[in-house]
């Protein structure tokens, strides 16, 4: 019942917002391409990169130097604590992202890197709410 009520509310919201949208541009003008980080990049991936202490600053200049040294297109997003940094990687395709990440792992100032992804909570086998653990996938530890 609750799901149905949410669906009706969502549909009503979409209809109201859609009615308030400005008219679409005329079909005679060609659509403008979305801005891209590099002129040829087609896919992006946010990464968390942990730098070795006192090596690379987590700022636009530091990330630009890593990008130049590894030939991997990167853009600084934000710093994290503990010499870690969130960056956006750009490539032509998913294989390009993987190859770029392998090149980044070879850089002597990089301790580790991982995808910046949503973490999902799950309960331990005991079911005690005090034992909630954060893991990248909700089914980790469930035996599946």
pTM score, whole prediction = 0.56
Beta bridge partners of 114: 48
The pLDDT score that the predictor gives to residue 132 is 52
pLDDT in tens, 11-59: 545 454 444 444 444 444 444 333 334 455 479 999 999 999 999 999 9
CA angle 133, 131, 122 (to 5 degrees): 40
Rounded to 10°, the helix 94-105/60-70 angle is 100
Give 75-113 pLDDT, tens digit per residue: 999 999 988 999 999 999 999 999 999 999 999 999 999
On whether the 43-115 domain is CATH 3.40.228.10, my answer is no
Question: Is the Cβ–Cβ distance between 73 and 37 less than 8 Å?
Answer: yes
List alpha helices for 93-141, DSSP H.
94-105
């Amino acid at each position: 019942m609750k799901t149905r009520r949410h669906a009706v509310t969502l549909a009503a919201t979409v209809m109201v917002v859609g009615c308030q949208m400005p008219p679409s541009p005329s079909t005679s003008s060609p659509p403008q391409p979305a801005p891209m980080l590099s002129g040829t990049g087609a896919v992006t991936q946010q990464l968390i990169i942990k730098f070795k202490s006192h090596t690379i600053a987590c700022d636009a200049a530091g990330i630009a130097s890593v990008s130049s040294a590894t030939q991997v297109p990167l853009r600084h997003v934000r710093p994290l604590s503990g010499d870690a940094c969130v960056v956006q990687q750009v490539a032509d395709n998913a294989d390009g992202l993987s190859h770029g990440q392998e090149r980044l792992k070879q850089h002597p100032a990089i301790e580790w890197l991982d995808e910046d992804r949503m973490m999902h909570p799950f309960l331990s086998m005991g079911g005690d709410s005090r034992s909630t653990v954060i893991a990248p996938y909700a089914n980790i530890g469930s035996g599946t």
